[in-house]
Amino acid sequence: MAFSDVTRSAVLAAISEYDALGRDQFLANYGFLPARSFFLLHDGKRYDSKAIVGAAHGSISPGSKPLLASEFSGGAATVAPLLRSLGFVVIEDASSNLADGAQKAITYWWVNNKQTYKHEVPGNYLWSPLTKSNGSPSVFYDNMQRARPGDIVFAFADAQIKAVGVCEARALLLPKPSEFGAAGNAWGNDGWKLPVQFKDLPKPLRPKDHMAKIEPFLPKKYSPIQSTGDGNQGAYLAEIPDDMAGAIIDLLGAQWANIAPALELPEAAEEFVQDEVEATVSAEIKNRTDIGETQKLQLVQSRRGQGVYRKNLEGFEKACRLTGLKHLQHLRASHIKPWRASTDFEKLDGNNGLLLSPHMDHLFDRGFISATDDGKLLVSSLLDPDTLQRWGIEPTTSFGPFRPEQFPYLEFHRKFVFKP
């Protein structure tokens, strides 16, 4: 028998053995080295793809034996297409060999987007307001910040799962899409936009017809649907258990096998995606007909901290608040509330900005640091303390006093940009 004779059930058996033994013992038992580039994803975990196929060959039939690593090659032309044809997701990730049956690689999400499906899925994104209309937080909106590149999203509208997507980057702060029209009247303008590459399902899946298989795995809290298969009121983006996602994937059958190759971890860096989004916002500004050419230029220039915005900012700020550097040519005009999420006024408001040294601008823009209204430095738990130390910034460093006009922008940064 050739490795191409391996079946889905044989692969699942190998995965079960991998989980039971652990990665190191499994690889040692079958004589395989850790994968260098290609990994199989299953139930949110990643596995060494070639080793799984080699072991699975021993489960095809009673007389079959596992394949040795020397008996077949792994990679893009062999193991990857075989596993994909069996309905599995295979990713290429040469930067890491973190395969581990106990490690969570991806998260599965379910989005109820009946109102905005016709805009979001063709546009390859999800959008939600930051909070409920009364200003209170929503778990389903907060989940937009939790989604990570490579996570899988099932799109549910009109009582059907109509598309499946893969997150391309983390959510960005962006205003409500104008194409929503009346569908978005109840929502505030500030929100999260999550880039998701969607694939339509030729035959949408109606969960209501399969609740016997799905219902046992519904989340006990914050479920996107009820036990009847109807959507839950107020639920937008909800995390679902791996077992529930597995049940859906099994129900999709061949459809999943057909779209699985497209649901791979994207290679684009998050910075590239953000830059691409901001370039799109700039293009939209240039195409506007409600403002003149001068204002268009001012708004676009402000993206890079240039033009009128920088002049307005330098009227208030005279040096980097953290390093003390006063040479303006070496400082960046950084928006406190991100440019892409700001209104026209906020994009040009000198109160919505700080002059920062480039390395401090990076930390502030990415949410690794922030500030209280009285100037206390806030440091994210995600930032290695060694970074600040090597850059000469003490945890007790102060931003100095802020003006009251800056307080609303700082509050926005603390709530929606800073990563505690």
The number of distinct structural domains making up the chain is 3
Whether 85 and 150 share a structural domain: no
Query: What mean pLDDT do residues 241-256 have?
Result: 84
pLDDT for res 277: 74
Looking at the structure, tell me whether residues 189 and 40 fall in a common domain.
no
Looking at residue 264, its pLDDT comes to 63
pLDDT of 370 higher than 60: yes
Q: Are residues 137 and 160 in the same domain?
A: yes
Same domain, 293 and 246: no
pLDDT for 94 equals 47
Beta bridge partners, 153, equal 109, 165
Average pLDDT over residues 239-259: 84
In which domain, by residue range, is 404 found? 271-416
Tell me, what's the pLDDT at 35? 79
124 and 255, same structural domain?
yes
Task: Please check whether residues 253 and 305 belong to one and the same domain.
Answer: no
CA dihedral 344, 347, 351, 353 (to 10 degrees): 170
- Residue where one domain finishes, among candidates 71, 89, 104: 104
Mean pLDDT of 283-288: 85
Last residue of a domain, one of 246, 268, 290: 268
Binning pLDDT at 50, 70 and 90, where does residue 366 land?
confident
Q: What is the pLDDT of residue 262?
A: 67
The pLDDT of residue 271: 60
Model pLDDT for residues 32-62, shown as the tens digit of each residue: 877 777 788 887 678 889 999 999 998 888 8
- pLDDT on residue 46: 82
Q: Which of 81, 104, 127 is the last residue of a domain?
A: 104
Over range 296-302, report the average pLDDT.
Answer: 90
Looking at the fold, whether 280 and 411 belong to one and the same domain comes out as: yes
Identify whether residues 219 and 260 lie together within a single domain: yes
Quick one: 141 and 7 in the same domain? no
Q: What confidence tier does 269 reach under pLDDT thresholds 50, 70, 90?
A: very low
Nearest partner of 391 among 289, 323, 309, judged by Cα: 323
pLDDT at residue 101 above 70?
Answer: no
CATH of the domain at 182: 3.10.590.10
Q: Looking at per-residue confidence, does 204 or 137 come out higher? A: 204
Q: How confident is the model at residue 103 (pLDDT cuts 50, 70, 90)?
A: very low
- Asked if residue 66 and residue 18 are part of one domain, the reply reads yes
pLDDT of residue 265: 54
Are 92 and 112 found together in one domain?
Answer: no
pLDDT at 98: 47
Taking only the tens place, the pLDDT of each residue in 151-189 is: 899 999 999 999 999 888 888 888 888 888 887 788 888
Residue 171 near residue 147, CB atoms below 8 Å: yes
HEC letters along the chain: CCHHHCCHHHHHHHHHHHHHHCHHHHHHHHCCCCCCCEEEEECCEEEEHHHHHHHHHHHCCCCCCCCCHHHCCCCCCCHHHHHHHCCCEEEECCCCCCCEEEEECCCEEEEECCCCHHHHHHHCEEEEECCCCCCCCCHHHHHHHHCCCCCEEEEEECCEEEEEEEECCCCEEEECCHHHHHHHCCCCCEEEEEEEEEEEEEEEECHHHHHHHHHHHCCCCCCCECCCCCECCCCCEEEECHHHHHHHHHHHCHHHHHHHHHCCCCCCCHHHHHHHHHHHHHHHHHCCCCCCHHHHHHHHHHCCCCHHHHHHHHCCCCCCCCCCCCCHHHCEEEECCCHHHCCHHHHHCCCCEEEECHHHHHHHHCCCEEECCCCEEEECCCCCHHHHHHCCCCCCCECCCCCHHHHHHHHHHHHHCCCC
Which pLDDT tens digit goes with each residue over 311-364?
999 999 999 999 999 998 899 999 999 998 899 999 999 999 999 999 999 999
pLDDT at residue number 105: 60
Please state the rounded mean pLDDT for residues 378-386.
Answer: 85
**Averaged over 249-258, what is the pLDDT?**
82
Type of residue found at 310:
R
Task: Please indicate, yes or no, whether residues 236 and 289 belong to a single structural domain of this protein.
Answer: no
Position 90 scores a pLDDT of 78
% of the chain at pLDDT higher than 90:
42
Mean pLDDT for 205-209 is: 94
When pLDDT is cut at 50, 70 and 90, the band that residue 226 belongs to is very high
Q: Is the pLDDT of residue 213 over 60?
A: yes
Q: pLDDT digits over 106-129, tens only? A: 789 999 999 999 999 999 999 999
